[in-house]
Every structure is written in structure tokens, then in C-alpha cells.
Structure 1
Amino acid sequence: MSILIKNAEIIDETGQTRQVDIYTDKGIIQKIGMNLDDEAGRILDAEGKLVSPGLIDVHVHLREPGYEYKETIESGSKAAARGGFTTICAMPNLSPVPDTPERFKKIIERIDENAQVKVKHYAPITRELTSNELTDQKAMLEEGAFAFTNDGVGVQTAGTMYKAMLEAAENGAALVAHTEDDSLLFNGVMHEGKRNNELNLPGMLQLTESTQIARDVLLAEATGAHYHVCHVSAKESVRVIRDAKRYGINVTAEVTPHHLLLCDEDIPSDTSQFKMNPPLRSREDREALIEGLIDGTIDMIATDHAPHSDEEKSGSMIGSPFGIVGSETAFALLYTYLVKTGKLSLKQLISKLTSIPADIFKMETGRIEVGAPADLACFDLAGEERISREDFLSKSSNTPFIGWKVNGLTVFTMVDGQVVYEGENI
């Protein structure tokens, strides 16, 4: 069905907003202009609302197969749509791990049947995520693998990572790393600093992340692979990535909303709602992440949407799983607490969530232009609400942001010219 979006506020290349009409048909943006009067199957009035390219999240967990009680492809993609995301990239830490072409193909079939937005899926670097046996990259790519990662587990052996990077470079694929040296974990559950000692909880050293990044950027330099760092959390990691980029190494990086907005001082008690990996680090680390995001050391923002059941996340950090949900709250939180406070411009925020990840990972979407896929999100920047678990479309609501007041509510989300989410304020 053709759709005409009237009176949309979009951000131009200078960072200024201007009002336009956007006509979409056959899944494509056909026209952009003033006072378009094309006959359309539906007209959406976006007066006073921001229309952006559909948001892109290169790091989510959909939990299917194996953990459907936490999330499914259907529920996770609905949650993404409610957050304004039109493309999400799902991690392979599942059961069974999709480490063969046959297993991977079955996941793609499930996505085709159940996804409400565009879902790209990662394949594992190694068998079972923890071995030193590489998966068949070429076969996985033929089945539609987006890139390769062992997210949730750091690749412990340098030789394994080196071989994986050689193959990735040969295949033109990105290698996406959860960086964590297990020998430096010491059973930690939160950041090693003043606050963990006050709560009498074992700490996680920054070094477990930054030392593995330092190893890997040199391996990337030697192999020529595109090396992407997941959920950067520590100032030392920012420094290593910044230096690597200065030397021309093909490294990119992402940061989560929770690491940009919270630090360990914000943890009120021993509660698993604040347990994530990497953990919330110091105020100094958080400031370094924001600086790195602004200067381009960190390329993009990704949610690391990690749903868990209420029972799993109801007690102490000790014994509970790592991770929080983020698909439905990311844009509103970032707009409210980074853009409205003057730390980021709206153009910077939108680009970190759209055109930059699209360019880095060679996606067709990510821009509002004639001929582009009609993947669009509309936000009411003046609209205000408190984050409530009752509103979530995800099967899980494990997040420390419940009760936070936010602006930037999603009005509607379109994928290939079809409306996949409509808010009450449309």
C-alpha cells in the first residue's frame, strides 16, 4: 500500500530541521517534497513530529531458539518496532548454537516467518562459542550470516582469533567481538571500584575488556580484517580504539545507552536489575565514552537488548544473569538525557543510530532519500511519559530505567513502506 507522510520534520545535512512530505510506494521512498498531493492508500499526518530513517541496532538478543520464555523473534522484533528500530542484528548465543549451516538456516527460516522488522543474524566465530574450532564462514555467509561473533564470550586464544580474522578478511566479513579475558574476571559481578566494595560484591576489572581489545586491534592490523568491538565500557578501551584508528587499523566500535547514561555510583543496592556485562563502570569511564562517541572513536550506539525473566532478575547480582532490555527505551532515553542536555546534537544521535551503522555494515537503509527503502520512524519529541514495564512489547522488562521520565515517544514505525508499529499518539 502506498503511504503519504505529510508535514514531516526531517534533519538535513546541516543538522537543521525542515518540513517535507514523503511519498512511499512498493516499499521505496518515491518522492520527497513540499505539498505532495499524490493519491495514496493511506495518509499519515506527522505535523510537529520528527521523521528519521528507521533506527538500526547491530546488537540484540532474541533468545530463539532455546530461551523463548525470555524473548522470541516475534516479541523481540515487535519491541524493536516500538522503539523505532527497523533493522536489528541478532546474536547467536542460543541453544542450540547455530554453528552449522543447517542450524543457521533454520533460524533464518524462523525470522522469515515471524519477524516484524528486518532481522539480520550473526553466526558464531567458533563451534559452541567456547571452542577453538572455527565455523565454516563461507557456508554461513551463503545461508545469510550478517557477520561473525561469539557475543557473551571473549575469544580466549589469540591464535583462534587470528585465524578467524584471516578468514573474515578473505570473505569480506566483519568480525564482531565481545572482549573479555576470562583470566581477569575473578568471578566479578559489577565494576571493580569503590561501589562494589561498599556493596560487598566481587568486582570486574576494566582490564578484562581493554587488554583483549589491545590484542585484537594488532591482530586486525596484521590480517586486514574489519574488527568491530561490542559494548565498549572502559576509558582504557576508548584509548586503545582511538590509537588504533589513528594508525589506520580497520576497527569500529559501539556503546550502549546504559553505559552512556549510568555509572556504578548509580547502583542503589545489590540488585540484578543493574547487572550487565560489561558492567556499569566509573563516572570517569562514562565521560570517556561520551567523549569517544562525539569525536568518532566510538562509531555507533547499540542497545545490547538482553531479555531475562522476572524470576531470573529478581534477586542479588550474585547468581543472576547479565543483561538488560533496551529496544523500547533507547531513543527516548538518549534524546532526553543526551540531546536535551546538550551533550549530543539531534543530528549526531540520529546518525549514530542510522546512517553510520548502515555505512559501516553495508546496509541499503539508513537514509531518507528517493530510491531508498521506506524504513522510517516517527517520534514525538515533545511527548512525555514515564517508562513502565506494563507498556513493553518485549516478553521481559529487566531494566533499571523503569520510572524514568522521557521525551521522544515513537509515533509510528515503517518497514519497507508498511506500518509495523503505531503508538497512541498517531
Structure 2
Amino acid sequence: MIIKNGTIMNPATQTIISGDILIEDDKIIKIAKSITPSESEEVIDASGLVIAPGLIDTHIHFRDPGFTYKEDIHTGSLSAAHGGVTTVICMANTSPTVDNVPVLEDILQRAKAEDIRIYQAASISHSLKGETLTDMKALKEAGACGFTDDGIPLKNAAFCYKAMEEAASLNVPISLHEEDPAFITNNGINHGDVSEKLGVYGSPSIAEESLVARDCMLALRSGADVVIQHISSGRSVELIRMFKAQGAKLHAEATPHHFTLTDEALLEHGTLAKMNPPLRTEADRLAIIEGLKDGTIDLIATDHAPHSAEEKAKPLTEAPSGIIGLETSLSLGITSLVRPGHLTMMELLEKMTINPAKLYHLPYGTIEEGAAADFVLFNPDETWIPTEYASKSSNSPFTGKELYGKIKYTICRGKIVYQD
């Protein structure tokens, strides 16, 4: 296969060139200004398109095993491919929980049949109870790429510190869901002016900030690579900035919904704008953007969280939290960050490719000779409107919204896995 006439953007080397890419099997063989194809080679004309490394999403839920009416490994993989995502890291809060080697090995074995690269994080604690550490060494040896009890916070600070020490010794990231339930009456809804209009007491930002402050300190002391997941509060951004300056190996995720929307979206979209942690104020949204601009936040991840239409149709305080995000993440980055001038296209791609690859020690996220042939080809100036999804679920507040950045091809292992 030869990809011709594209604008090749490689965040790993911070380079932009116009040219062609020759692919054989699953590797990049040659990058040059012009490559003449043989008669047997498939040619993709990428004129007017950006060629970027396949996106890497460090925070997704495929709901498999246990909740496959919402999503499964196969439909999740299709959804990722539609969004230009060639590598995903699945969370461990399945049923059964990924807290033992047999469950982990079953998922990884079934994942081999899919067209994208699927990695699996294991849980920090048995049954997500925050009481007993899993056998992290055995799980890493069996293929776990990191550890997280995502969806549930680690309330015991000493236990959290012990888990960080173990993760540090294994040289893998540990990812933390930062919401102290003691502060929360109704989760998924920011406590503020909007929640008062809705007549509910929601989740105040202190629920996140208090655990972020604690875990920044523990990260500094433990030396672990600690990921603060789906950051929603401006004060949390400030805390991470401060502790990174002191040498803590902190990494922060921003989701497209947290840098695009505020809690006002609840008034328009109802349960489709309900997620944990919740959408917060415009000041918080702008602080997250500042964190993305100065590198305090180094990852953009979707927290792709499928739910059925029946579940999301329940009253606001009863419906589950979360939205799907794999198919709109790049477009939301272009629409909400690049076009307004907050980030360059290179800076956006850096947070969606090479930064996650480095954190998880993955040999992807770059375009160079000898590297994996994983790409997303897109037109940053073309608009589209999401109406239907490859995911089993459609719980998104972005349905029907005009977005910039139309994905034309997703290529993984040298194979076209999505074509517009």
C-alpha cells in the first residue's frame, strides 16, 4: 500500500512534511517526497488530508465481560476505528472485575480477533472494594498494561500509597478516579447554579479536589507514574501543575466533553450530559484548556462509556453517568481546541498519540520508517454531523452537532479498518 500526497504530521518528531508513505505488511517501509507505486500496490490518494499516527485512547469501557448489551469488544473496536483510534486501553470495572489472570487472559485472547490494538488495565483492588491489592506482578506478567479501579475512588490513603509503590516497582502507570463520595449527594451533576435550577444537590468540585490534593502528594512521595483521570476542576489543574513542578510523575487526562461543555448542557441534554466527574463551570472548562495549553494536562482520553437508551431515559438522578466518545474525540479536539486557537494541530495530536504511547511503553504513536503502520487520515476543514454510531450505544450530547475534522481512513497494522 502507498499513501500519496498527504500532509504527514508526526508529533513524536514535531515534523510536518508533504509526501508519500510506503507500507508493507504492518510496517512503514519508506517515507519520501514521491514514491512510484507498482501495479500490484494499493494506492490511497491523501491529497488535502492530514496523515497522523493512529490515535491512542487510554481510557475506554467496552463493557465486556458482563454488560455487553451496552457494548462489546467487537462493537467497541468498530467504534474506535470510526474515530481514528487504533489503540485502546480498557478499564477494569467489568463483571467479573479484571482482578485475576484468567479474566484478563480471556479478554486479551478475544481481543486478538479485532482490527484494532486492544490493551487491558487490571484493577488495583479485588472486586473494586479498595481493601486488598490484586497480584499486580502476576497481572502485569499476564499482559496488564496498567492498574485502575476506575469508576470508584480509593478512599484509604495508605492503601492507595501502597498500590502506587507496587506500580512504581513494576514500572506501569496507576490511574485514579478522584471523587470522594462523602461530599456527593447526586453524582454526575455539578453542585452549583444549574443543579439548584434542577432542584438537586449534586457533586461539588471539592469531591475531586480533595482526593487530587492527597494523591498528588502520594505521587510525589512514591515516584509512581500516576494518572489523574478525567479531570473536571480548575483547582485540580492547579494542584497538578504545582506538584509536577516539584517533580511528581503526574499525568492528567482531559476528556473532550470536559473541554467542550459546561453544566449548562444538562439543561439542554438532560441525562446525555450526565457523567462522573460532572461537567462543571465555564471557569473550570477554561482552566482545563489552559492546562492543555501549558502541558499540565498531557493526555486527551474519551472515557467512552456506553449505556442503553432505556437506562439514559430514566430520571436525571437515576440514570447512569457517562457518554460515548470514541467516534467524536478527534473532531471535538479540532472544533473546540484547534480552530479557536487554543492548541495547534500538532499539540492536539501529541496528546492523543505519542504522549499516551510513551506513558504505557507502547511502540506506536509515531510515523517513521520501521514503525507500525497505524494511521488516521482526516480533513481538518471538512464538517460533518454525527447522527449514527458504530457503537451499540448512542448516548452522546454531540449527536446532531456540526463538527470539524472528517475522518476519511483509519489504518491499523497496514490494513484499512475504516473508510468514509
TM-score, normalised relative to structure 1: 0.95
Which residue number corresponds to residue 94 of structure 2?
Answer: 94
Q: In 2, distance between residues paired with 1:332 and 1:110?
A: 30
Match of 1:5 in 2: 3
Which residue of the partner structure matches residue 190 of structure 2?
191
Instruction: State whether residues 332 and 406 of structure 1, in contact with CA within 8 Å, keep that contact through their aligned partners in structure 2.
Output: yes
2:393 pairs with one of 372, 391, 396: 396
- 1:95 counterpart letter in structure 2: S
Partner of 2:419: 422
Please say if 1:84 is aligned against 2:81: no
Shift of 1:12: 5.7
Range with greater deviation from structure 2 (80-89 or 36-45)? 36-45
Query: What corresponds to 2:306 in structure 1?
Result: 307
Equivalent position of 1:159 in the other structure: 158
1:200-211 alignment, distance < 5 Å: 200-211=199-210
Query: How far apart in 2 are the matches of 1:164 and 1:151?
Result: 14
Q: Distance in 2 between matches of 1:87 and 1:270?
A: 30
TM-fit CA distance, 1:270:
7.4
One-letter identity of the residue aligned with 1:116 = D
| Structure 1 counterpart SS, 2:175 | strand
TM-score (normalised: structure 2): 0.97
Distance 1:270 1:88 in 2: 28
CA contact (8 A) 2:187 2:276 kept: no
Deviates more, 1:267-276 or 1:132-141: 267-276
Inter-partner Cα distance in structure 2 for 1:68 and 1:188: 24
Q: How does 1:347-358 map to 2 (within 5 A)?
A: 347-358=346-357
Separation in 2, partners of 1:158, 1:282: 29
Separation in 2 of the partners of 1:31 and 1:340?
32
1:136-162 CA-partner distances (Å, limit 9, x unpaired)? 001101110010000000011111111
Whole-angstrom distance in 1 between the partners of 2:198 and 2:269: 7
The answer as to whether partners of 1:15 and 1:346 remain within 8 angstroms in 2 is no
Task: Give the letter for the 1:72 counterpart.
Answer: D
Greater CA deviation, 80-89 or 9-18?
Answer: 9-18
Structure 1 residues 269 and 196, CA, compared in 2 at 3 Å: closer, same or farther? Answer: farther
Alpha-carbon distance, 1:377 to partner: 0.6
Q: For the residues of structure 1 that align with 2:186 and 2:34, how far apart are their CA atoms? A: 61
Structure 2 unaligned segments of length 5 or more: list them: none
**Residue 67 of structure 1 aligns with which residue?**
67
Contact persistence 1:78–1:394 (CA under 8 A): yes
> Is 1:133 the equivalent of 2:132?
yes
Partner deviation per Cα, 1:276-332 (whole Å, 9 max, x = no partner): 000000100000000000000001100000000010112322111010000001111
Contact 2:130/2:155 (8 A) holds in 1: no
2:58 & 2:385 partners in 1: Cα distance? 26
- State the secondary structure of the residue aligned to 1:152: coil
Distance in 2, Cα, partners of 1:196 & 1:304: 23
**How large is the Cα RMSD of the aligned pairs?**
1.4
CA distance in 2, matches of 1:118, 1:361: 13
Corresponding position of 1:35: 34
CA deviations over 1:77-127 (Å, ceiling 9, x no partner): 1100110001011001111112111121111112123x2210110000000
- Cα distance in 2, alignment partners of residues 315 and 171 from structure 1: 43
Match of 1:288 in 2: 287
Paired with 2:285 and 2:87, the residues of 1 have a C-alpha distance of 27
Query: What residue in structure 2 maps to residue 279 of structure 1?
Result: 278
Contact 2:37/2:43 (<8 A) preserved:
no
State yes or no: 1:227 paired with 2:226. Answer: yes
> What SS class does the counterpart of residue 271 from structure 1 fall into?
helix
Superposition deviation, residue 5 in structure 1: 0.3
Determine the structure 2 residue equivalent to 1:180.
179
Q: Quick one: distance in 1 between partners of 2:166 and 2:376?
A: 37
Does the 8 Å CA contact 2:10/2:52 hold for their aligned counterparts? no
Equivalent residue number for residue 323 of structure 2: 324
Structure 1 residues without counterparts, runs of 5 or longer: none
Using the aligned pairs only, state the percent identity.
40
User: How far apart are residue 72 of structure 1 and its match?
Assistant: 0.5
Q: Write the letter of the residue equivalent to 1:4.
A: I
Q: Secondary structure, in 3 states, of the residue corresponding to 2:128?
A: coil
| CA distance in structure 2 between the partners assigned to 1:90 and 1:144 by the alignment | 12
More divergent stretch after superposition (183-192 vs 117-126): 183-192
